[in-house]
Structures are given as structure tokens and as C-alpha cells.
Structure 1
Amino acid sequence: MSWRIWRSVARRCNMQPLRSWDQSINQMISLSSGKLWRRLSLIAWQASIYWIWSERNGRLHRGVFKTENSIVTSIDRQIRNRIASYRESNTGLASRLLQLWLSSAP
């Protein structure tokens, strides 16, 4: 399930998702597809880790299960919110990041 969620999000960042944690770490360290894509990819990766871990904890400690689509929707919302947080300090950056994210929507 984690792989399918990450694959869905990574593809929106024009990334080839990797299954190995070590390979994924190295991939994030060596991102070189431009500053905007790099920033968007890191935001997406962080959001994915957070929501996958949150789902794991919900299942383990509370017995609450969410669907993959629900988790991907939460990730999408968090990414949009993070991008929106740039509006006050850098409107141009926020606009360009949001355009990239929305242009890659399925």
C-alpha cells in the first residue's frame, strides 16, 4: 500500500519511484531537475512519509483504516497547503509551484 501511494505522488513530480528506502533517500539527495521540481518533489516526499506513517499508526493503535485514495487526497491537500504558505513571503514561487503541481494532476 505504501508503494502504491508513493508511486501515485512521485509520478506527479515527474519522478521514477523506487521501492528501496536507501535508493529513495539517494534519489532525493541527488534531485537535479531544477529548483522548482526539486522543492515540489521534497514537499511531496515529506507529505507522503507523514501520511503513510500516520496511517500506519492509526491502523496499529486505533484500528482505523483509510483507503489509498483517501490518503493520496490528504497528501494532495497538504502539498497545496504547504505551497499556499509561500504566498505571503514569495507570491511568485507559490504560483509557480502550484502551477507545476496542478499541471501534473491525473
Structure 2
Amino acid sequence: TGHHDAVNSIAFNPDGKKLASASNDNTIKLWNLQSPTASDTLTGHHDAVNSIAFNPDGKKLASASNDNTIKVWNLQTQKELATLTGHSKSVRSIAWSPDGQTLASA
């Protein structure tokens, strides 16, 4: 348990020690796989979070939302690094390039 609405996306970090989940409750939860509870909650989206993706080194997480934005998060500080705009409707999917330099969205 942890989210208060449907979960739309999950992703393992590259070392397999954490799992992130994105929900219609506008939040992202970070789960320590050694514990059954969420270790951290990322907030900042104003609508449902549809998709999440860890960058290849596991230090950043990107999230795509119905609020038409993508957010990039620093996982060490759990702070938002950037809000990316440009979509005129919901962002449904995101993916990092293998080198972690580019983020694609749909």
C-alpha cells in the first residue's frame, strides 16, 4: 500500500534495489525493496503521473503526467531538477536514451 489511487507505471532502478511507482494520485513513490513500505514520495505534478523512467546511472528519474509536463528528479536530494513543457495534451510515455543524454516523450 502507499498510493491513494490507481498505479499507472512502475520501474526498477538500474541496480535493482529500488522500485518507483507512478499514480493517479499525482505522486511518485520510491520503494526500498528491502522494506514493504514506500521510502520516499515525490510530489509536484498537478495531475495523474502516467509514466516514469530511471536514467541509466540511476541518479535521476523522469516522470510524465496528464498535466502536460515531464519532470526530472534528482534522486539523491529528491528535488525536482526541471519541468519540461511543450506537449499540448497528456504525456503518456517517456524513455531515456542508453547514454542518459536524451529523454524521449510521447
Could you tell me the TM-score, scaled by structure 2's length?
0.28
Task: State which structure, 1 or 2, has the greater radius of gyration over its C-alpha atoms.
Answer: 1
Higher helix share: 1
Could you tell me the TM-score, scaled by structure 1's length?
0.28
Higher strand share: 2
Which structure is richer in relative contact order (CA contacts within 8 A, separation 6 or more)?
1
